[in-house]
Amino acid sequence: MRAIIVGGGKVGYYLAKTLIERNYDVSVIEINKSVCQYFANTLDVTVVRGDGSTARALKKAGAERCDNIIAVTGEDEVNLIICQMAKRLYQVKKTIAKVNNPKNVDTIKNLGVDIAISGTDNIIRQMEREVDNSRIKELMPISEKASVFEVTLPENFDYSGRMIAEIKLPENCNIISITRNGELLIPRGGTKLVSNDVLLIVSTAGAANEVRRMLKLKK
């Protein structure tokens, strides 16, 4: 997954560090030279020095191939503009704006931002819950950290015919059922997975993202 963070400082740094730990490919746009240098020296990120509310900076950061744009500047109006540009010019799948004034949340959502939220931890939580496409989607949260997900294995599934025990799924993830040709199976370690299986898994959101990457599930 690729994410662009617009805005440095403590919020941007925490987001970048957390997303890197969760295997995101992260780019950061920041106008302050010293902040750019700090990010480049301490994190494995692509750093673009510039105004994130301009098409030039967004393009340089790779917005056309980005999955998430996260605008965390100190001004709600700027965060709104960044998200709107990313969606309209580059068709970014998910736009996320940090809202400094909670009264602006509904307005920003109504103006086209996918997620408008205050609080850095909430941004991470909402991003992780956005594992929702034709191959993997959240069905039901069962706690603050874990949910039941439905996973549809692709036609050209790389591990087709392999036993679950051989695939080594990430920690914090368990397959609880498999539906194959309309038949429900209760899996064991020796159960083989095949293309077009529909799995139900209990997983943290971060592990669900890792499952998507491991199984090479396409959007």
pLDDT digits (tens, 9 = 90+) for 38-91: 999 999 999 999 999 999 999 999 999 999 999 999 899 999 999 999 999 999
This prediction has a pTM of 0.60
Alpha-carbon distance values, 188 to 74, 104, 121, 183 (Å): 50, 49, 35, 16
Confidence of residue 194 (pLDDT cuts 50, 70, 90): very high
Give the full edge-to-edge strand order of the sheet including 25-30.
46-49, 25-30, 2-6, 68-71, 94-98, 115-117
| pLDDT at 219 exceeding the cut of 50 | no
Q: Do domains 2-129 and 136-214 have the same CATH topology?
A: no
Q: Which fold has domain 136-214?
A: Alpha-Beta Plaits (3.30.70)
Question: Tokens standing for 172?
Answer: 């914090």
Options 3.90.1150.10, 3.40.710.10, 3.40.50.720, 3.30.365.10; CATH of 2-129: 3.40.50.720
Q: Where are the domains of the chain?
A: 2-129, 136-214
pLDDT digits (tens, 9 = 90+) for 13-44: 888 988 888 778 999 999 999 999 999 999 99
Supply the angle between the helices 205-214 and 120-129 in degrees, to the nearest 10: 40
| pLDDT at 185 exceeding the cut of 50 | yes
pLDDT digits (tens, 9 = 90+) for 99-116: 988 888 889 999 999 988
Mean pLDDT of the chain: 86
Contact 155, 195 (CB under 8 A): yes
Round to whole Å and give the CA distance between 195 and 191.
13
Supply the angle between the helices 33-42 and 9-21 in degrees, to the nearest 10: 20
Round to whole Å and give the CA distance between 219 and 213.
11
pLDDT digits (tens, 9 = 90+) for 111-135: 999 988 876 556 666 665 554 444 6
